[in-house]
Structure 1
Amino acid sequence: MPVTTELSARALLLDMDGTLVNSDAVVERCWRRWAARQGLDGDAAMRVVHGRQGHLSMAILLPDRPMEQNIEENRLMLAEETADTDGVVPVPGAPAFLASLAGLPHALVTSADEGLARVRMGAAALPLPPVLVTAESVGASKPDPEGFLKGAAALGFAPADCLAFEDSEAGIAAALAAGMQVVGIGPRAAAHAPTVQVDSLERVEVTAGADGTLTVRVG
């Protein structure tokens, strides 16, 4: 029988791509085209791009290129990704999971800019959390913890009282560096040492106690 893990928190911080929204088809299309234009191996590029802001992925893949060029190309990449919603769907269990959080303290913490976040959540027919921490909100991208720290502050809780949901190496590292426990969602998360990993949000249940404590059962 599956083992159930029970975690406690006061607030939840949620990544978007790969955690709530399956946008892999768009990411693959856009980033493989970009990699081909640079003469890079597409598979190698895909191992880097998840979870980070695009200009930092570009900097890792092309370390000798000026950052100004990466920032400009990322602007174009964001426009391309925002215009392409073909295949953007909720991850299994995301609609019911977000519905269960209505009225509870939770925030979106994503490396996407606000426009892309709104488009992808809309394409997946998912409600936006009450607090958004997007690329414009931070000076440093995941794996830096700034986004998660800002999400906790916006909700009014200490980082240690927040539980993060993530799928990528960069995102899991960012949440752990912020001092939070992390629920890893999906197979991509398993290799990156989250506090607990689960194949699907269908296996996550959140209940609120009378004192506001959130009990998260994973398993």
Structure 2
Amino acid sequence: MPVRLHARALLLDMDGTLVNSDAVVERCWRRWAERNGLEPESVLRVVHGRQGHATMAALLPDRPMDVNLADNAVMLAEETADTEGVVPVAGAPAFLAALADWPHALVTSASEELARTRMTASALPLPPVLVTAERVSASKPDPEGFLKGAAELGFAPEDCLVFEDAEVGIAAAKAAGMRVVGVGPRAAAHTPTAHVASLEAVRVEAAPEGGLVVTVG
């Protein structure tokens, strides 16, 4: 049964939501896991959605944060240099085209350079507002990024609808007081407001009373 959600602005995660970068993420984080004596599959279960240094802190809690930050700079450089296998999520081009005249922002744990690189590699247009890793003091699941995106677009949290794929991103959206559409298999287990297998199942239309109606499913 389709779900209809009214919103005035949309806040969009990038990796796993608009861009399928799993191949790069897995390559880079497998190498990191091996360098640090960790089991790669265990590492890959927790990397999605967070900034790299936050993932490192969770996996190596006794390591000083300045080491994690330096290591994360290396990781970002590796990920930015590797675009092999980076493609749009199914339905992402048409979805973003439908949003062209509506308020929307990208809220991602990636750096601005990495976000621009992956959106370009996927041939996707950048939203008019970017909230990237450099622009927040805390990584998802902290709600700061989504709250900042809403404020920059000029809307209250309850007027915004988030699109996310990862557990920490869904938690961040909920903590911001926002409804969230979970996209893809990772999202299904984390009780989003609504869930779709891909963006192909999302339709965006003008609402008679103003704003948008987003039909999911």
Q: Distance in 2 between matches of 1:21 and 1:119?
A: 11
* Structure 2 counterpart of 1:62, from 51, 60, 68: 60
Report the CA distance between 1:45 and its aligned residue: 0.3
Task: Indicate conservation of the 8 Å contact 2:6/2:207, yes or no.
Answer: no
Map of 2:211 onto structure 1: 213
Alpha-carbon distance, 1:212 to partner: 3.2
* TM-score between both structures, scaled by the size of structure 1: 0.98
Cα drift, residue 213 of structure 1: 1.4
The SS at the match of 1:104 is: coil
**In the aligned structure 2, how far is the partner of 1:143 from the partner of 1:134?**
14
SS at match of 2:90: coil
User: 1:209 offset after TM fit, Å?
Assistant: 2.7
Q: Hey, what does 1:29 align to over in structure 2?
A: 27
Identity, in percent, stands at 74
Q: What is the aligned partner in structure 2 of residue 191 from structure 1?
A: 189
Aligned pairs for 1:1-219 within 5 A = 3-209=1-207, 211-219=209-217
Letter in 1 for 2:136: V
SS in 1 for 2:126: coil
Task: Give the partner amino acid of 1:83.
Answer: A
Matched AA of 1:205: R
* Runs of 4+, deviation exceeding 6 Å: none
The secondary structure found in structure 2 opposite 1:215 is: strand
Structure 2: gaps spanning 5 or more residues: none
CA RMSD of aligned residues (A): 0.7
Q: 1:211, CA displacement in angstroms? A: 4.6
Using the size of structure 2 for normalisation, the TM-score is 0.99
Aligned residue-pair number: 217
